[in-house]
Amino acid sequence: MSSPAATANTAPATDHPAVRALEPAALWGYFCDLNRVPRASKREAQVTEFAANVGRQLGLETLVDSVGNVIIRKPATPDRQGRPGVILQAHLDMVHQKNQDTDFDFATTGIRMEVRPDWVWAQGTTLGADNGIGVAAIFAVLAATDLSHPDLEALLTIDEETGMTGAKALQPGLLRGQVLLNLDTEEDDELTIGCAGGVDVTATGSYTPEPLTGDYQLQRWQVRGLKGGHSGMDIHLGRGNANQLLTRALVAAQAACGLRILQIDGGSLRNAIPREASAVVAIPTPQIAGCQAWFSDLAATLTTEYQDTDPELQLTAQPLDTPTAATLVLPLATQGPLLAALSACPNGVARMSPRMPGLVETSNNLARVIVQDGQWQIGCLTRSSINSARDHLAQAIRGLWETVGGTVTTSGDYPGWQPQPDASIVQLTAQIYEELFGHPPKVAACHGGLECGILGSKYPHVPMVSFGPNIRGAHSPEERVQISSVQKSWRLLLEVLRRI
C-alpha cells in the first residue's frame, strides 16, 4: 500500500513497483513513499511534515514538538487495554552519501532503488534503510486495522545522525508509554540493550598562503574506491580511511619529492568512514619522473595492504594546469606540522571492551579534513561506551591539535546507554525471538550511537530494547537491507506488541 501522505513536497522518482510488491506490503509501501522525501540531518522540515501527515490522515492524535520530533498516538485494541503502553521509536533523518561519479541531488530527487536477490539497494547513493525501515515499520503498525497491541506512541526524532538534537530536545513528561522499542538495530539475530556515547571534536587553524616560486607541476591526488561505512558499527573492520591514506602519501612525498600542498579535501560526514579524499599538490619539475615511479609503487603497496577490506581502492594522480604567479601554497612551517599531526591523529579502535567480547569500547573517526584559502579544519567523532574514556580520547586529540596552533572545540556530546539485561522487556523479547526462530538471539551492546542513552536520561524508569533487520553498508552507497530479514523483524515486532 502507499501512504496518502506523499504530497507535493516529495521529490520526483519512479514508483518502484518491485519494492512495493514485497511483503509486508504496507511497510515497503511506506518505505517507498519516505524515500521520496529529502531528509538530511538538520534539514528535516519536509520529512517532519510528511510524518505528521501520516498520523493525521490515519485519524490519530499527532503532535510536532518545538524542534520537529513527531509523536503519534494510537489507542490499544480492545483485547490489550490496560497493558503497559509502548513507545515505538525511530529517527527520521538519513545520511546523504553518494559516489563521486553518481549524478544525484538528494534535495530534488527521490532515492533510486532496485531489488536484487533478497536485498534492496540504492543506485550509487545511500538507501536510507537506516532508519527509514524502522520508520516505515512504525507507520505500517499505525495504519494496520488487524493487529493486537496496547496503547502505542510513535516517537519519530530528527537529527539522530549528526548530534541527536531531536532526542536531546525532547521534553521530559511528554511521553506516556511505559516500555520503549527502538527500531534502529542492523543485525536481525541481535537484541541491542546498550550503546556507545559520542562527542564531535573539531580543530581549526589558519595560515598565510605564500606564492609558489620555482619550476613546479601541479597534480590532483585522489584516494577513491574505499568501502567506508558506519563509523561506529564498522570501525572494527579495519577498512581504509581515505584521510589517513592520503596523508600517508603526502607525508612520504614531502620527504621524497619536495612536494608542496595547495589544498586538501577529504571525507564528508563525521559518522561515515571517509571513502574519498583529494589534494592539489605541486611537484618540482626535476622530481616528476622519480615521483611518478614512487607514486606507482605506493599505489601498488596500498592496493596490496587493503585488498581484503577495500578491493576497489584507487590512488591516482592527475596532471593539472601549469602553475602561475598567482598559485599559492601552504608555507612549509604550516605544511610539515599539519601533516605530522594528521599522521598522529588517532583513528579506528582505541580499545576493545574487556567485559563484552567483540565489542568496541572506544574509537575515533578522522572524518573530515579541509585545507584551503588560509584555513584548515579537522573533524572527528569520538565514541565510547564509557563516558570517561570518550572524554579522555577527545582530550588527547585536543592536545595534539593544540600543539600545532589549532583551536579545538567539542560539541554534540551524548551519553551511552547502560545495558539492563534483566529488564522484563529484554527477557520477553528474547523469549519470543527464540519461540519464533528456534534459537536464542544475541543480547549485546553496540558501538553505534542510539538515542536510547539520551531518552533513558529523560525517562529513567522506561525499560528499552532495540532490534531490526539486517542492514549492510550503512552511511555509504553500499547500503542495502535484506528483504527476508525485514519480514523476520516484522514478525518479531508484531508478536512483542501482541504479548507485552
**DSSP letter string over 325-363?**
TT-EE--HHHHHHHHHHHHHS--EEEEE-SSSTT-EEEE
Answer yes or no: is 182 within a domain: yes
- At 355 the pLDDT is 80
Answer yes or no: is 94 within a domain: yes
Asked if 408 contacts 203 with a C-beta cutoff of 8 angstroms, the reply is: yes
Note whether 266 and 409 are same-domain residues. Answer: yes
CA angle 178, 183, 189 (to 5 degrees): 115
- At 2 the pLDDT is 42
DSSP structure class, residue 416? -
Asked whether residue 1 carries a pLDDT value surpassing 50, the answer given is no
Note whether 50 and 140 are same-domain residues. Answer: yes
Number of domains in the chain: 2
Asked if 452 contacts 417 with a C-beta cutoff of 8 angstroms, the reply is: yes
Active site residues: 93, 160
The residue length of the chain stands at: 500
Domain boundary among 414, 438, 465: 414
Q: For the domain that residue 205 is a member of, what is the CATH number? A: 3.30.70.360
Task: Give dist(CA 130, CA 475) in Å, integer.
Answer: 8
Asked whether residue 87 carries a pLDDT value surpassing 90, the answer given is yes
Answer yes or no: is 311 within a domain: yes
pLDDT band at 10 (very low <50, low <70, confident <90, very high): low
Note whether 64 and 187 are same-domain residues. Answer: yes
Mean pLDDT value across residues 196-218: 96
Task: Give dist(CA 499, CA 142) in Å, integer.
Answer: 17
What confidence tens digit (pLDDT) does each residue in 217-254 have? 999 999 999 999 999 999 999 999 999 999 999 999 99
Note whether 168 and 241 are same-domain residues. Answer: no
Asked whether residue 8 carries a pLDDT value surpassing 60, the answer given is no
Mean pLDDT value across residues 332-336: 97
The more confidently predicted of residues 387 and 380 is: 380
Task: Give dist(CA 219, CA 242) in Å, integer.
Answer: 18
Q: Which helix (H) or strand (E) holds 298?
A: helix 288-305
Note whether 390 and 423 are same-domain residues. Answer: no
Domain ranges, residue 402: 199-414
Answer yes or no: is 3 within a domain: no
Answer yes or no: is 42 within a domain: yes
Domain boundary among 396, 414, 432: 414
Answer yes or no: is 448 within a domain: yes
Asked if 184 contacts 156 with a C-beta cutoff of 8 angstroms, the reply is: no
Structure-block grid coordinates of residue 19: 519494492
Structure-block grid coordinates of residue 169: 530536545
Note whether 449 and 371 are same-domain residues. Answer: no
Give the mean pLDDT of the chain.
94
Note whether 186 and 209 are same-domain residues. Answer: no
Note whether 220 and 343 are same-domain residues. Answer: yes
Answer yes or no: is 10 within a domain: no
- At 412 the pLDDT is 86
Answer yes or no: is 2 within a domain: no
pLDDT band at 14 (very low <50, low <70, confident <90, very high): low
Note whether 357 and 297 are same-domain residues. Answer: yes
Asked whether residue 332 carries a pLDDT value surpassing 90, the answer given is yes
Mean pLDDT value across residues 403-413: 95
Asked whether residue 272 carries a pLDDT value surpassing 80, the answer given is yes
Mean pLDDT value across residues 182-199: 95
Q: Considering only CA atoms, which of 359, 406, 357 is closest in space to residue 379?
A: 406
- At 5 the pLDDT is 45
Note whether 249 and 185 are same-domain residues. Answer: no
Q: Minimum mean pLDDT among 1-10, 138-147, 432-441, 456-465: which range? A: 1-10
Burial call 105-143: b when 16+ CB within 10 Å, e when fewer: ebeeebbbbeeeeebbbbeebbbbbbbbbbbbbbbbbbb
- At 448 the pLDDT is 86
Structure-block grid coordinates of residue 44: 528535516
What confidence tens digit (pLDDT) does each residue in 279-308 have? 999 999 999 999 999 999 999 999 999 999
Q: For the domain that residue 61 is a member of, what is the CATH number? A: 3.40.630.10
Task: Give dist(CA 429, CA 185) in Å, integer.
Answer: 14
Note whether 388 and 429 are same-domain residues. Answer: no
Note whether 410 and 434 are same-domain residues. Answer: no
Contacts for 378 with CB less than 8 Å, ≥ 6 apart = 202, 203, 204, 342, 345, 366, 368, 369, 401, 406
Asked whether residue 11 carries a pLDDT value surpassing 70, the answer given is no
Domain boundary among 414, 435, 469: 414
